[in-house]
């Protein structure tokens, strides 16, 4: 049996990008986090402390997105590192960061990066 938890559609305003204008005016982002864990005991006992608290996932994402970076790849790696170091019992993790209406030469709705993988 697999147990998956997803915190999706985390909407944030942040200041990432290589252009100086992006540091000044910022932009809209959406972050999705999916993870696999074992929440058997939490389901049996109705006990939050025996599963992943969505509040903690959202807080990590918000805190790391608030730190300016040139690349969303860098932000994604920081979120990854925090989650795997601060949340115990993970078997799989996936993080997607979507940058909405990026300032590139073209009519593009979003660009995104995804980091995902099995954990020990």
8 Å CB contact between 22 and 16:
yes
74 C-beta neighbours (distance < 10 Å), count: 15
Q: Is residue 67 part of a domain?
A: yes
Q: Is residue 18 part of a domain?
A: yes
Counting the structural domains of the chain, the total is: 1
Whole-angstrom distance, CA of residue 65 vs CA of residue 23 = 13
Six-digit token pair at 28? 């809209």
Task: Assign residue 30 the CATH number of its domain.
Answer: 3.30.1130.10
10-51 tens-digit pLDDT: 999 999 999 888 889 999 999 999 999 999 999 999 999 999
Q: Is residue 9 part of a domain?
A: yes
Q: Is residue 99 part of a domain?
A: yes
pLDDT at 106 over 90: no
Q: Is residue 43 part of a domain?
A: yes
Task: Among 8-17, 47-56, 79-88, 101-110, name the one with the lowest average pLDDT.
Answer: 101-110
- pTM for the model stands at 0.95
Buried residues in 29-63 as b, exposed as e (16+ CB within 10 A) = bbbbbbbbbebeebeeeeeeebbbeeeebeebbee
Range of the domain at 99: 3-111
Q: Is residue 92 part of a domain?
A: yes
Mean pLDDT along residues 38-65: 97
């Amino acid at each position: 049996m697999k147990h998956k938890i997803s915190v999706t559609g985390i909407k944030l305003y942040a200041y990432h990008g290589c252009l100086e204008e992006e540091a000044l005016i910022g932009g809209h982002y959406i972050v999705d986090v999916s993870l696999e864990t074992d929440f058997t005991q939490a389901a049996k006992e109705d006990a939050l402390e025996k599963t992943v608290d969505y509040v903690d996932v959202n807080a990590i994402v918000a805190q790391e997105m608030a730190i300016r970076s040139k690349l969303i790849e860098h932000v994604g790696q920081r979120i990854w590192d925090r989650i795997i170091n601060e949340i115990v019992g993970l078997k799989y993790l996936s993080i997607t960061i979507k940058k909405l209406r990026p300032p590139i030469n073209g009519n593009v709705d979003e660009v995104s990066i995804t980091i995902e993988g099995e954990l020990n």
